[in-house]
Structure 1
């Protein structure tokens, strides 16, 4: 397809998908394309079953135009977000709406065969539960809790994922479901989810900070996810914040933010305090050899336990210092806080906010908002859907499959984008 035709096709499709234009006259007016070009591209998209005509809208004179609708139900996406201690899977439509989902505990350290095997079982179960004759799988989106080389779709030296280094996650799912697959860091997907359907929809420059077992950031720049050259942008959990050599991080270094302020660190510190008799509440929770978790710290703080409150405030201050560096360097208008520790309550969020505002330049914080995620645990699933949607409907990818009607059956679509 000539570049000019492809460009017009993508423009028309994007305007209808986003709801910016719903009729042919609106498409011509908003895009600047001629009516004949719009009519040709709309016809092509209707023939491809990506668009359909619906009822006519009220006319301002002459024949009433027919409204156009993007057929989000034409295909479905398999999406999964893998965390350190849990996984969530689902099916989404082509508009990024999560149609069905399932969450359960999991141990990412069990290795790729065990974890991904379980993900496949859950995917297969969700697909089997659909009505017969359901739409084909158009793509798969997977998030993992570690650095990912996005172009290759493989985790690279992930600190908390033994056995995953270089594992061909993308190829595994693409081959199994005969559809293109994309893999990204889980925090990037959470940031993308917030950008598309969450609090960051109107923020051109934003930071999503996940505070769970580990700590990581997803960066939104000029309305787009910023991954960096290899996909490692935003890995703030391994920024050194103390010189304490006893604070050993899972990455092998000492003094990392994650090692002193992440969920795993809070659980470890709470366990030590319980055994030392520094917290009656936490000591009562420690009933056996199993260590405490961050949820125990959050619960203890909610019950007014002084030691737990101190732990959360100190964690918030450490995180706030690192975040202040990002704010000064990057100057976002919005910071969205997510992850399991983010549910610790207003005291924790207040400690982060106070530290950021105290340690950042006045100009950088003049219009800055620091808020808790509105999507919660579903941010990553939404992001997994949109990473696939963005790729499938990008000009280069669309050109590869549009004449075939659908990307189903093209697992190699994730290869290097065509050039020249």
Structure 2
């Protein structure tokens, strides 16, 4: 019988639970209600989701453990969920709680770390042990894998590159307290905010702004292709910021490949334009190229959670 892992991906609007094989095949999955208001409430939602899944579905393989991806800071080796949002910290030994509740060994990691783990085993990691994974969605985060090691940092906070300054002259203040951070310009939320900022300068723009509704990336692309001035301003700014961020990470970590994930990157439009902003000398050692992940963005964290469990069950902490 094939060994499997019960994988859990905690998102802002849903919890995805599924049984996953070592090859990354999801045998069955189910979505359940989520919350990320605080760690205790989210922990209880995770427990409820796992219970419901086990009641609703027959386990098909030999279940060896539980792997969980959550938002925020995670100490994987200790199984401790340290922080759900910056400044909102209620450390919980989540792995121990789930082990006691379900009598299965459990391991936890951050969701972007999980995606990088999945890339390490199921994706670009089959070609190189040195790569950068950059997730550009509502926010921006990245993980560096160097010599097959996932860099985690002294406080389990490595990779928060959305707060890397890419415009020294900017007066736009980020939530982190600094000005000119990449997330202000190149993230999904950042681009929306830049649309609001510059809209008065482009009264003839075809972009529709409706109350609290966020302007989507697809709306921006459509307007850009229609030669809309506001869309060109915002997207060119975003591309410059993302390119600067990417090149900074290349200079720091010397990867052979750069892989992009997240909603902004899904259809390849952003990457196809971003590469035209890259300096040839800076990227000359990225011999295995720039690519959008081939792993389904809706499943990559689930596969990452499972990958973590399979790795840790064998006692290998290389990627923890």
- The structure whose residues are more often helix, as a share, is 1
1:246-395 alignment, distance < 5 Å? 246-273=171-198, 278=203, 280-283=205-208, 286-294=209-217, 296-298=219-221, 300-301=223-224, 305-343=228-266, 345-346=268-269, 348-358=270-280, 360=282, 362=284, 364-365=285-286, 367-377=287-297, 378-394=299-315
CA contact (8 A) 1:241 1:257 kept: yes
CA displacement at 1:352 relative to structure 2: 2.5
Contiguous gaps of at least 5 residues in structure 1: 1-70, 397-420
1:138-149 alignment, distance < 5 Å? 138-149=64-75
What's 2:42 paired with?
115
CA contact (8 A) 1:83 1:144 kept: yes
Partners of 2:206 and 2:259 in 1: how far apart? 31
TM-score by length of 2: 0.83
After superposition, the Cα gap between the structure-2 partners of 1:357 and 1:277, relative to the gap in structure 1 and judged at 3 Å, is closer
Q: Indicate whether 1:72 and 2:6 are aligned.
A: no
TM-score by length of 1: 0.65
CA contact (8 A) 2:9 2:70 kept: yes
What's 1:194 paired with?
119
CA displacement at 1:342 relative to structure 2: 0.8
Q: Indicate whether 1:127 and 2:49 are aligned.
A: no
Residue 237 of structure 2: SS of its match in structure 1?
helix
Partners of 1:292 and 1:163 in 2: how far apart? 28
| 1:285-315 residue CA offsets vs partner (Å, 9 max, x unmatched) | x334444344543554466644234323321
1:67-216 alignment, distance < 5 Å? 71-73=1-3, 76-84=4-12, 87-103=15-31, 108=36, 110-131=37-58, 137-157=63-83, 159=85, 163-216=88-141
CA displacement at 1:82 relative to structure 2: 2.9
| 1:127-181 residue CA offsets vs partner (Å, 9 max, x unmatched) | 22223x7656432222223232223333445546x64442333233223222222
CA displacement at 1:85 relative to structure 2: 5.2
Partners of 1:272 and 1:86 in 2: how far apart? 31
CA displacement at 1:336 relative to structure 2: 0.6
| 1:254-303 residue CA offsets vs partner (Å, 9 max, x unmatched) | 332223322221122234455776464322xx334444344543554466
Partners of 2:277 and 2:90 in 1: how far apart? 36
Partners of 1:103 and 1:355 in 2: how far apart? 39
Partners of 1:272 and 1:129 in 2: how far apart? 48
After superposition, the Cα gap between the structure-2 partners of 1:200 and 1:301, relative to the gap in structure 1 and judged at 3 Å, is farther
Contiguous gaps of at least 5 residues in structure 2: none
Q: 2:142 aligns with which of 209, 217, 230?
A: 217
* Rg comparison, structure with higher value: 1
Q: How many correspondences in the alignment?
A: 316
Residue 196 of structure 1: SS of its match in structure 2?
helix
For the aligned residues, what is the CA RMSD? Answer: 3.1
Residue 376 of structure 1: SS of its match in structure 2?
coil
